[in-house]
Amino acid sequence: MVQAALKNLSYLSETDAEIAKLIGAEQQRQENTLELIASENHVSPAVLEAVGSCLTNKYCEGYPGKRYYSGCGNYDEIEALAIGRARKLFGCNYANVQSHSGANANLAVFFALLEPGDVFASIELSDGGHLTHGSPVNLSGKWFKPVPYPLIYDESQPNYGHIDFDALRRVCLEHRPKLIMCGYSVHSRIIDFAQFRSVADECGALLLADIAHIAGLVATGVHPSPFPHCHVVTTTTHKTLRGPRGGMILTNDEKLATQIDKAVFPGNQGGPLMHAIAGKAVAFGEALQPAFNEYCRQIVTNAIVLAEDLMARGYHIVSNGTDNHVMLLDLRHTDQELSGHTVSTWLESAGIIANKNTVPRDSRSPFVTSGLRLGTPALTTRGFKEPQIRHVAGLLDRVINSGGHVDAIAEVNDQVKSLCAQFPLAY
């Protein structure tokens, strides 16, 4: 089967058989496993072609019409298309599509809007934040001063797992952050951007939304837009947006847009990855089609069905459900001895790819964790709908309840391969 995959790698097979073999093996792995990592997806063949094109050969430091190298005419048009499509997709006035990643996009915004030592408010990593939201091991936590705001931790409360806006207001009025961050790596509820803006205005802060996870849902109206409430929006271009790996920064403020452009280049990057920007343009064009709207609605439907089925089987999900594409299983409610690391290892052996994740107030390290993060974008890309999602819930349950038993895992793996064969990838 790996050899069949190599037919698409004819040049590479001749010049570097080792790498070609590994790429072929990875293609087979993706084709024969169920991808439930919420931050991953399968791009279209058109995006793959753009990213793998000759555009990788060119240096294009600067911006369209203002490059530092000759020969950039075609690249100017490509980047202009990406910018125009991004603005149309998200309903904003300015877009910088050059960030190599979401992390670089966040760094550029910090560079543009903050000075070293400035205070900003964000949620902690264990509560669903991101490394670039102030983790002490990240530049954002080393060069700046994060102050955390909490979730509602009381499981008896109807808004358990939601943002504690009363606490957010107290934190921000006490510390007067220059910037407030919202948008998360694992938060399964609608983000109330208007409430965040109210607090930001009261304490004199700018508001940044990191919508990396929900970008596709925002673009199609399945999740409310951060505009007009947020001053700046960052995102990745993969995940629910189903584009190539990369970042982007959006705003409606002309002054901030100028500062951000300078912060991206020359502030924290050199030449843009024009093959990736072409892939972004292709993905934005795909996302502007009516079918993408239906796709994003199915992502959310699938997530709700998966969460409800798992909860009916007795699993505990932080916030008791989901409004978007992601959910977080708190395994402490299933078995105090069970860790996210252990369960994700069992699942991978069964052909189901999910990632361990910390849960609120987790006593375990990020290498072990007490939680499991699940998402539905990649399964929806395969064409899964409610019946298949319920089947997946049953497979997850069987693996977890098997205690890692080899025979049970092998049986689940056979079912996974059968499902994958029924819903093959497009490439």
Residues designated catalytic: 59, 61, 210, 236, 239, 245
Length of the chain: 427
Element (H, E) at 251: strand 247-251
Beta strand 355-357 with 371-375 is antiparallel
**Backbone phi and psi for residue 52, each to the nearest 5 degrees, phi listed first:** -95, 20
Give the integer Cα–Cα distance in Å for 67 and 61.
Answer: 6
If phi over 0 gives left and psi between -120 and 50 gives alpha, with beta otherwise, what is residue 92? beta
DSSP string, 323-381: SSSEEEEEGGGT-TT--HHHHHHHHHHTTEE-EEE--TT--S-TTT-SEEEEE-HHHHH
Tokens found for residue 293: 């709207």
Give the integer Cα–Cα distance in Å for 103 and 212.
Answer: 10
Buried-exposed string 152-168: b where 16+ CB fall within 10 A, e elsewhere? beeeeeeeebbbbbeeb
Beta bridge partners of 248: 235
Tokens found for residue 376: 């539905």
Q: How far is CA 420 from CA 28, 35, 59, 161, 415, in A?
A: 11, 10, 40, 33, 9
Q: Which of 59, 95, 150 is nearest to 260 (CA)?
A: 95
Give the integer Cα–Cα distance in Å for 103 and 133.
Answer: 9
- Name every residue whose Cβ is closer than 8 Å to that of residue 362 and which is 6 or more positions away in sequence: 126, 369, 370, 371
Q: Which of 274, 218, 252, 267 is nearest to 109 (CA)?
A: 267
Tokens found for residue 81: 């298309």
Task: For residue 115, count other CB atoms closer than 10 A to its CB.
Answer: 10
Q: How far is CA 197 from CA 193, 200, 209, 230, 254, in A?
A: 6, 5, 10, 7, 19
